[in-house]
Each structure stands twice: as C-alpha cells, then as structure tokens.
Amino acid sequence: MDLDKSVIGLTSDEYVFEVESRHVGQFATAIGDDNPLYTDDGYAKESAYEGLIVPPTFPIAMNDGKVKMPLQLDHRRMLHGEQEFLYYKPIRIGDQLRCQIKVRDLYDKEGKSGKMQFLKLDTEMKDEAGELVCISRMNIVYRAAKN
Amino acid sequence: MIKDWVLEDLTVDQKLEPMMKPPITKVQLAQYAGASGDFNPLHLDDGFAQKIGMDGVIAHGMLIMGFLGEYVMKVAGKKARVANFKMRFGKMTVPGDEIRCSGVVRRTYEEDGKRWIALDLTAEKVSGEVVGSGSAILQRT
C-alpha cells in the first residue's frame, strides 16, 4: 500500500539519548576518523567548538533501538537516498538529548519503474533546556509495492 | 595528510587537496555496525547478501558519509564549525574499495554578520565511480 499525505506531521515518542565517550570513540574508530576534536581536550578547547565534540555523522547512531517509528514502513521497499545534518549547537560527551522522529514531508514522482514516493524523516535532538541541537534528516525513496 | 587550510584564503572554484581512505574491510563494517546500531545483514553476512543477488556484503552508505565527514572536519580545522552537511548516496561500495574524498569551494559569503564557506564534496572509487556527492556549509570564526 502506498503512503498518503496524512502521514506528514506524525511523530514518534520522545526518547532520551545519552552521548557516551566509549560510543563516540568506537564510532570514530570504525570510520578511521582520528580528528583530535573528539579526543584531545586541550586542542578542542582552542578550536571554534571550544571543547570536545562528536564526529559530524554521529547523530545517525543516536537511536536507542527501541523507539517506535511514527509510521509503518516496508523495509524491503526503502532506499536511503540522501542524508542531511543541520547543526545548531555542538554535541558533547555526556549530553542527554531529547530525540523525536517526525515525518517532515511526503511526495510522489514518476520514475522509470512506476510511481516512487519520497519520504523525509527528521530526527530532532534538543538539549535539556529544550533548544534545538541537531536535526538528522533522512530522505527515503519508497518504491512501489511488487504485485 | 591534510594541511591546515587557511580558510580566509579559499577562493571560489578552488579544488581542495583530496583525502584517500585505506581499503574498506569486513572488520570495519562490523565495527561500524556495532557503533551505528545498523546490523542489517546485507553489510555483515555474505551468505545473506548472495541470497538477494549480490556478490557479497556491501558497505553501509553512512560509512561513506562518515569518510566525507572526516574530510569536512579536516578542512574546517580549528577555525570553523560545520553548520550543514548532506550527501546523496551513489554507487555501492564493497570491502576492498578505496575511497577518495575531494571538495571544491562553491561559495564564500557573509550573512547575518557571519562568514560562511560552502563546499561541494565527492566520494569516489579509484575507478572514478561516484559513491557519494554532497555539500557542506562551514561557519568561520
């Protein structure tokens, strides 16, 4: 079944994600990203970030594995087409961020193999004061169901 | 590998020194799966990947974005923050692939009293096949 516009605006429950040092280290190591901004306190303090931060794609790892998506999707039809991060404040080790997934947009396009749908899912991350820290925006191509 | 860029000297259309990553390994895909929480067997289990018509496991697209993220942070150095970073996924990558990250200065401008640099980014295989194309916006301090 195709999705319809009524899914726009649906949200998941909010969950709290704690940014842990070991997790950030494992993430940077997997990529092979040895930037001292993630590990060297003195270096990071002198930088534009004024302290240690996390790798720019780390927000993708900020799922607790339990949160229920705001809508039902067939994973076999999903293709992660594009990813965007909008950064408002630095993410720091020890942060407890309040995260929520929202359906930002849904639109159709005619493709070679029939109608394709495009879904934009935002994960918004806010600090304890409720201020926006980061948005992780996933653009998903939702292919037509095979009959 | 990458020198400290003098950000104020960057000019439009300037090509930035590329960064070569070592070949992707299966161990790396396991590490990335653990760290990112993406345990899709397509990235870990050759048998599974072959069952759905692939030659073997493929790399996480987000790992490639991680490489470009590493590159962007190296270009930004100590003097800029990254405000926006995006990537469109291209061709698939497999263990053994060596990825080259490169960038071009698209625009330098002032807005809201701040100085910005917009970059176009490319991740490609040695063969020249593009595996990710994207952009980033840096805010200079």
- Check CB contact under 8 Å for B66 and A55: yes
Q: Which residues pair with B140 in a beta bridge?
A: B80, B115
pLDDT at B2: 55
Output A3 or A130, whichever has higher pLDDT: A130
Would you say residue B2 lies in a domain?
no
Total number of domains constituting chain B = 1
| Residue B115 in domain | yes
Report yes or no on A117 lying in a domain. Answer: yes
Q: Which helix (H) or strand (E) holds A6?
A: none
Residue A24 included in any domain: no
CATH classification of the domain holding B134: 3.10.129.10
Confidence band (pLDDT; 50, 70, 90) for A23? very high
Q: Which one, of A71, A40, A38, lies nearest residue A57 by Cα? A: A38
H or E, element range at A29: helix A21-31
Model pLDDT for residues B94-137, shown as the tens digit of each residue: 999 999 999 999 999 999 999 999 999 999 999 999 999 999 99
Calculate ∠ Cα B70-A120-B135, nearest 5°.
Answer: 30
Domain that holds residue A75: 5-19+59-142
> Rounded to an integer, what distance in angstroms lies between the CA atom of residue A60 and that of residue A70?
17
CATH of the domain at A126: 3.10.129.10
Q: Where residue A62 falls among pLDDT bands split at 50, 70, 90? A: very high
- The answer to whether residue A118 neighbours chain B at the CB level (below 8 Å) is no
Distance CA A108, CA A4 (A): 9
Contact A102, A70 (CB under 8 A): yes
Interface pTM (ipTM) of the complex? 0.95
Domain assignment present for residue A43? The answer is no
As for how many domains chain A has, the answer is: 1
Residue of A60, A133, A139 for testing the chain B interface, max B β-carbons within 10 Å: A60
Looking at residue B3, its pLDDT comes to 60
Could you tell me the CA-to-CA distances from B106 to A79, B16, B17, B78 in Å, in that order?
A: 28, 11, 15, 21
CB neighbour burial string for B90-101, b if at least 16 within 10 angstroms, e if fewer: beebbbebebbb
Rounded Cα distance between B121 and B84, Å, is 12
How crowded is residue A91: how many other Cβ atoms within 10 Å of its Cβ? 23
Residue B37 within any structural domain of the chain: yes
Q: Let me know: does A28 contact A35? Beta carbons within 8 Å.
A: yes
Residue A108 lies in a domain: yes
Most A CBs within 10 A among B48, B52, B89, hence the mutation to make, goes to B89
Assess if residue B46 is contained within a domain: yes
Instruction: Say if A9 falls within a structural domain.
Output: yes
* Residue A73: inside a domain: yes
A29 in contact with chain B, both atoms CB, cutoff 8 A: yes
Residue A101 lies in a domain: yes
Distance CA(A7)–CA(A3), nearest Å, equals: 7
Contact A103/A70 with Cβ under 8 angstroms? yes
pLDDT value for A114: 77
Under 8 Å between Cβ of A89 and A34: no
The Cα diameter of chain A in Å comes to 59
Question: What tokens appear for B72 in the block?
Answer: 């962007």
A25 belongs to a structural domain: no
**Can you give the residue range of the structural domain that contains B126?**
7-140
